[in-house]
């Protein structure tokens, strides 16, 4: 029975069976436990590579990008192993070698090819993005204690075999709301490291809302100084200076994650309205807001100063952000009439293009029929959304964040202390058991840009609380974004997810031990 179960898990995870050896009994079992599930895995039973004090990390000669990935890998492994792991140009495939040549063409721009023999670990890709993704798989092939920040006792073995892998969708995102509660640069960096481990490549930062404005805008300084001075519950709030924001963007880039900043418009704007009276139709600034209700605020659509304000904000944010997209929100604008909403979006969408960016927004902004390069982020709870099908036919691509599947702030069950439940309870299986490629009626998979897991923070105040709500559900969404549809199987995923428990614990991630998952000690 145990052999049959191991074989079934391997089929679910990889589509390739090379051994029916029991999963718990052999070193090669870790090739069957990778999250997200790879496209193709081949095991070589009885063989392994041993990481030792003499191991070197070698990278593509002449490639600064490959060297940076090699240095990142060394930085991951040195604390727990205590080894020097020098990084130098590859002269031959010895030790751990990262190459930008010779990869199977199927890996594309983000995939990789990993081969492990007793003599060497060789990771090949066409790009540094691919190498970085391969490193995330390699770290899962070492014992879980390799994730520890302190020195541990070996041995450090990597099971023999090979992996050929590439993502199903190009956009695999996590959204962090820093507006409802403010999170420091170090707290955001911590989250960046955690999501990067599972091949997330977009960080959507929700930078402004009714409760707080979190990014310095030099042409409108009171936005941050006043608008950023509180948060839900009346805490001190905070904001990022432009230098700090650049630091976050650079740090995310070092983890091969692109930051997508969001300024939610024209609603969710009380912090801005409180900062500048002239943005209000009556010229009177409302007080700062520390509650959690939505839909009551709106910029004044008929005032020209509104568009000067938006232009300045987008101009400064675009200059700070290397990524191609700016998120302009557009959701829950209940205080804006539909004609005013359309007027506003028809003025603002060209401003995004003016500053060299493409627009993305919550799916409500489709009412303004943005151009073919726009991206709509869908947060609804049903697959019946005819406006999405019409937009896809016009060339709009879609990021899926259905609230009853992908919202990480939803409670797991009625006993969950943190989070909300307006979209229902979302246990780990709920987060996993849906198919992004077939979720929206009338929308082909080709129109799906990817998936994203938003984490709203009305009830969250620190990293431990972020981790309780994000993990392990974020791993489910990460797998939906990366792994081929043929690997989708709850039983197999739950088994592989259980093997991640000790890794999360070794990294100090305060994850929720869902009763749906057969966790390991």
CA distance 265 to 479: 31
Give the C-alpha distances (Å, rounded to integers) separating 410 from 98, 295, 416, 455: 40, 19, 9, 9
Q: Is the peptide bond before 155 cis (omega within 30 degrees of 0)?
A: yes
Which token pair is 209? 């809302």
CA distance 268 to 271: 8
Burial environment of residue 392 by CB neighbours within 10 A (0 to 12, 13 to 18, 19 or more): buried
Q: Which residues pair with 121 in a beta bridge?
A: 96, 116
CA distance 177 to 206: 5
Q: Which of 332, 369, 387, 445 is catalytic?
A: 332
Give the C-alpha distances (Å, rounded to integers) separating 248 from 128, 183, 191, 474: 20, 12, 11, 21
Pairing of strands 112-116, 120-124: antiparallel
DSSP symbol at 222: H
Could you confirm whether 452 is annotated as catalytic?
Answer: no
Which token pair is 4? 């049959």
- CA-nearest of 174, 183, 109 to 377 is 174
Which token pair is 110? 């983000």
CA distance 262 to 317: 9
Asked if residue 85 lies in contact with residue 77, where contact means CB atoms within 8 angstroms, the answer is yes
- CA-nearest of 360, 351, 430 to 398 is 360
Find the radius of gyration of the CA atoms of the chain: 23
CA distance 307 to 186: 34
Which token pair is 83? 């080894």
Which token pair is 349? 């969408």
CA distance 363 to 514: 31
CA distance 1 to 381: 39
CA distance 216 to 230: 15
Dihedral sign for Cα 225, 231, 237, 241, please.
Answer: negative
CA distance 246 to 261: 12
- Give the residue numbers marked as catalytic: 332
């Amino acid at each position: 029975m145990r052999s049959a179960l191991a074989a079934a898990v391997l089929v679910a995870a990889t589509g390739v069976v090379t051994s029916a050896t029991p999963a718990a009994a052999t070193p090669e079992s870790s090739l069957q436990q990778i999250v997200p599930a790879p496209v193709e895995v081949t095991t070589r039973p009885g063989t392994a590579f041993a990481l030792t004090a003499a191991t070197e990390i070698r990278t593509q000669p002449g490639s600064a990008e490959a060297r940076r990935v090699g240095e990142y890998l060394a930085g991951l492994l040195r604390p727990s192993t205590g080894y020097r792991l020098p990084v130098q140009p590859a002269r031959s495939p010895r030790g751990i070698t990262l190459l930008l040549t010779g990869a199977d063409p199927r890996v594309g721009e983000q995939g990789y090819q990993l081969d492990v023999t007793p003599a060497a670990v060789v990771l090949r890709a066409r790009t540094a993005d691919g190498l970085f993704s391969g490193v995330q798989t390699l770290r899962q092939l070492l014992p879980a204690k390799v994730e520890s920040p302190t020195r541990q006792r070996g041995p450090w073995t990597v099971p023999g075999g090979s992996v050929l892998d590439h993502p199903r969708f190009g956009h695999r995102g996590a959204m962090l709301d820093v507006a409802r509660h403010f999170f420091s640069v170090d707290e955001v960096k911590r989250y960046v490291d955690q999501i990067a481990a599972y091949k997330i490549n977009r960080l959507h930062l929700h930078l402004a809302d009714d409760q707080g404005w979190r990014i310095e805008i030099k042409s409108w300084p009171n936005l941050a100084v006043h608008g950023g001075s509180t948060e839900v519950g009346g805490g001190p709030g905070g904001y990022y200076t432009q230098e700090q924001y650049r630091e976050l963007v650079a740090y995310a880039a070092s983890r091969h994650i692109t930051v997508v900043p969001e300024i939610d418009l024209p609603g969710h704007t009380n912090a801005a309205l409180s900062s500048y009276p002239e943005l209000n139709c009556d010229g009177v600034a409302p007080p700062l807001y520390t509650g959690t209700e939505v839909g009551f605020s709106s910029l004044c659509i008929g005032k020209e100063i509104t568009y000067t304000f938006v232009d300045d904000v987008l101009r400064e944010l675009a200059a700070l952000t290397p990524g191609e997209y700016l998120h302009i929100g557009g959701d829950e604008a209940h205080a804006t009439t539909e004609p005013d909403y359309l007027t506003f979006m028809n003025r603002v969408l060209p401003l995004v293009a003016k500053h060299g960016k493409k627009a993305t927004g919550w799916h409500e902004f489709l009412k303004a029929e943005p151009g073919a390069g726009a991206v709509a982020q869908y947060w609804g709870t049903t697959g019946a959304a005819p406006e999405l099908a019409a937009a896809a036919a016009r060339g709009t691509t879609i990021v899926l964040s259905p609230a009853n599947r992908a919202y990480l702030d939803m409670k797991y069950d009625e006993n969950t202390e943190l989070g909300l439940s307006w979209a229902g309870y979302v246990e780990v299986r709920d987060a996993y058991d849906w198919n992004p490629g077939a979720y929206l009626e009338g929308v082909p998979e080709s129109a799906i840009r990817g998936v994203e897991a938003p984490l709203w923070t009305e009830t969250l105040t620190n990293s431990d609380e972020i981790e309780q709500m994000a993990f392990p559900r974020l791993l489910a969404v990460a797998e939906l974004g990366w792994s081929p549809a043929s690997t989708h199987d709850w039983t197999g995923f739950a088994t592989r997810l259980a093997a991640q428990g000790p890794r999360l614990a070794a990294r100090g991630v305060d994850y929720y031990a869902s009763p749906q998952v057969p966790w390991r000690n």
